[in-house]
Amino acid sequence: MSEQRVVVTGGGRGIGWAIAQAFATGGARVHVCDVDDGALGPARQLGFGTSVCDVADAGDVAALFARLDGLDVLVNNAGIAGPTGPVDEVDPAEWDRTVAVNLTGAFLCTRAAVPLLRGAGGGAIVNIASSAGVLGYPLRAPYAAAKWGLVGLTKTLAMELGPAGIRVNAVNPGPVEGERMQRVIAAEAAATGRSPDEVRAGYLAQTSLGAFVTPAEIAAAVVWLCSPAAAKVTGQVLGVDGNTETLRTT
Ligand code: NAD
């Protein structure tokens, strides 16, 4: 990945931060954006480019891409879990925000990135979707709908941008050990009246491997998808999730 110019959205922490570090380790020039300025400290310390940017805000996204001096790889990673609860109790404003960050954000960043990728003679886009982008996910309708949308965007843009040498793939992480999953488990426990331990055991039972994944394992797949080794891989949706068989936890 030497000298590749890479943007990772929502890259201040979690999976995005692992992706940013993996690209940098391979010699890439990494620019990290995050809506939370406080999350960008470690990226600044390592000398990465940084921008405070809400990917759901068209003005923020335009400013981010205007600052770049070229681009080879875009990783649309920024995402939020959205509300947990039955569909008839979902607040329309929370629906809108979940779709805005997880789906519209990827559209806005891709729209701004494509002229730069064309200018570089081609490149790669990886969308961080979810197993909720290929399976139903009870009590998480806004998130599942947004991630299915992101998979649809991936398949469509692989066709539309293939002739320009721009490859577009999605990576579907399974539940990742970490802070975000703790929040997801706590919200689901509160919504269903079960204990967090029960909900956690349900998540572990969903996968063939019976294990959570690590951010580094997801990052390795993303870097490979953007490398010359994956030169003929586009339009694919790669689960890095121990094979999620279902998203039912009961
Ligand atoms: P995280 O909450 O740990 O980190 C997400 C980062 O994105 C944070 O730094 C946050 O400030 C930033 N962010 C949030 N909204 C933003 C916005 N509007 N604009 C820019 N930045 C924003 O989450 P994570 O677990 O690292 O998740 C990363 C991606 O992986 C998301 O798209 C998520 O849906 C997906 N995913 C995560 C899991 C999991 O178990 N953690 C599973 C499947 C898919």
Length in residues, the chain: 250
Select from 80, 204, 240 the residue to mutate for testing ligand 1; criterion: most ligand atoms less than 8 Å from CB.
80
Angle at 175 between CA 172 and CA 176, to 5 degrees: 100
Q: Pick the residue with more confidence: 110 or 182?
A: 110
The Cβ of residue 195 has, within 10 Å, a number of other Cβ atoms equal to: 11
Residue 79 near ligand 1, beta carbon < 6 Å: yes
Residue 77 near ligand 1, beta carbon < 6 Å: yes
Q: What is the pLDDT of residues 48-76, one digit of tens each?
A: 999 999 999 999 999 999 999 999 999 99
Residue 10 near ligand 1, beta carbon < 6 Å: yes
Q: pLDDT class for 40, splitting at 50, 70, 90?
A: very high
Question: In degrees to the nearest 10, what's the CA dihedral of 64, 143, 132, 31?
Answer: 10
Q: pLDDT class for 181, splitting at 50, 70, 90?
A: confident
129 SS3 class: coil
Residue nearest to atom 19 of ligand 1 (CA): 54
Q: pLDDT class for 223, splitting at 50, 70, 90?
A: very high
Residue 173 near ligand 1, beta carbon < 6 Å: yes
The residue with tokens 């068989």 is: 245
pLDDT given for residue 177 in this prediction: 84
Average pLDDT, the chain: 96
Contact partners, residue 248, CB within 8 Å, separation at least 6: 138, 202, 206
Across the range 192-196, mean pLDDT stands at: 93
Across the range 176-204, mean pLDDT stands at: 90
Known active-site residue 203: no
Exposure pattern of 10-40 as b/e (b: 16+ CB <10 Å)? bbbbbbbbbbbbbbbeeebbbbbbbbeeebb
Across the range 172-197, mean pLDDT stands at: 90
